[in-house]
Amino acid sequence: MAVAALEGVRIVELGQGVSAAFCTRLFADYGAEVIKIEMPGAGDVTRSWGPFPADEPHLEKSGLFFVLNTNKRSVTLDPSGDEGRDLLLRILDGADVLVENHQPGQMRAWGLDYARLAERIPALVMISITPFGQTGPYAAWKGCDLNAYHLSGTGSRYCGRPDEAPLEQGTFSADYFGAYVAATWGLASLLTQDAERGEHIDVSCAEAIAALFVGAQNIGGYAQDGSFEKRTGVGMPLAAPATILPCKDGYVWMLALELGQWQGLARAMGNPDWTQTELFQDMFARAQHADVIYPLLEEWTRRHTKQEIMDRCQEHGCPSTAVFTVQDAAQHPHLDERGFIVELEHSVLGSVRTLGAPVLLPQAPGGPRSAAPLLGQHNGEVYGERLGLGEERLRELAANGVI
């Protein structure tokens, strides 16, 4: 049986919401042991966010929590007091990585900032994921995914019409991208880790979004000559075809800019006479006559399904594609065959379909193996078996609200 790529790596997650949980799930997907610290009673805030079956809130039935926390162990612990902090430190004594997403001031107030942790555990890699980072004027500000996203300028660049207000971003974009950056550099730090020196990795979700969404093309252009791009609405105004059109069962993104792509699209449509017009052999000229071209394209797209259009375009060298819905993606045979859709058994939810590992490692396969844990499900294992606390002590800690 293949050994998981990160087997033997121990991670402790101390966080709330999306960014810390998704970061540690990426480690857990490939075999790392993740102990998730949750506050007694309520647990991680995503347990209350849903979505829930039949829209009925339940701590153990949140779809978001399920997806973010497969392959993990859950223990309840309040680190705000001396007893709770001491228990957390004992858990950290056996860990390689701590992932957290609290405000820097909160970690200092708990006595869990990197400077103090490094004195006790010199080799610890601590990953801090926050909206604005550990330093700078906004470091102490309260923020969330929304604040980080818009600090980057991405709201102005995407999405919406240029002469109207921007549209809201995709849910938790900054948190998810920040988590990917954190996991990448956390793994890099682990590869260079030694017994004498750990590292504090400071991830700003705003900066991750600025680099990955807005990118050097926009920021670099502004640095050079003060110019930058803004949202353009649907499609591309300077070249055509590049827009979304309706079809028989939804929508397709029609993109065929280069001459070879345009000719491929023409063949996919059966080479109608209007596609052979000399004027339309240039993508910029096509954009100037988009009011003529787009209705003609739509007349064709409406006669076919999005899969038929994508198949024909693929056959003829045109990158146009179906616009798949979430339902389409969840049922798509390509993703299913690659093992990206996984079915797991949960003691409360029953059988649940969820997302597999985003990267395939044939020699060390990863992905969800166990469902998201119940709140405090592994208290007995971690506190009793690992830390050696007896049942009477555990009852006392629970009665005092520590666990």
The CATH number corresponding to 242-327 among 3.40.50.2300, 3.30.1540.10, 3.40.50.300, 3.30.70.980 equals 3.30.1540.10
Residues 6+ away with beta carbon under 8 Å from 226: none
Distance, CA of 77 to CA of 375 (rounded, Å):
11
pLDDT value at residue 402: 96
The closest alpha carbon to 369, from 74, 70, 75, belongs to 70
CATH fourth-level superfamily of 10-213+337-399: Crotonobetainyl-coa:carnitine coa-transferase; domain 1 (3.40.50.10540)
Domain ranges of the chain: 10-213+337-399, 242-327
Residue 347 burial (10 A CB sphere; 0-12, 13-18, 19+): exposed
Residue 355, classed as helix, strand or coil, is strand
- pLDDT by residue for the chain (403 residues), tens only, comes to 678 899 999 999 999 999 999 999 999 999 999 999 999 999 999 999 989 999 999 999 999 999 999 999 999 999 999 999 999 999 999 899 999 999 999 999 999 999 999 999 999 999 999 999 999 999 999 999 989 988 888 888 888 888 888 887 778 999 999 999 999 999 999 888 766 789 999 999 999 998 887 765 666 677 778 777 788 777 778 899 999 999 999 999 999 999 999 999 999 999 999 999 999 999 999 999 999 999 999 999 999 999 999 999 999 999 999 999 999 998 999 998 998 999 999 999 999 999 998 888 888 888 999 999 999 999 999 999 999 999 999 999 999 999 9
What does the pLDDT read at residue 217? 61
DSSP per position, 228-254 = ------SS-SSSSSEEEEEETTEEEEE
What is the reported pLDDT for 216? Answer: 59
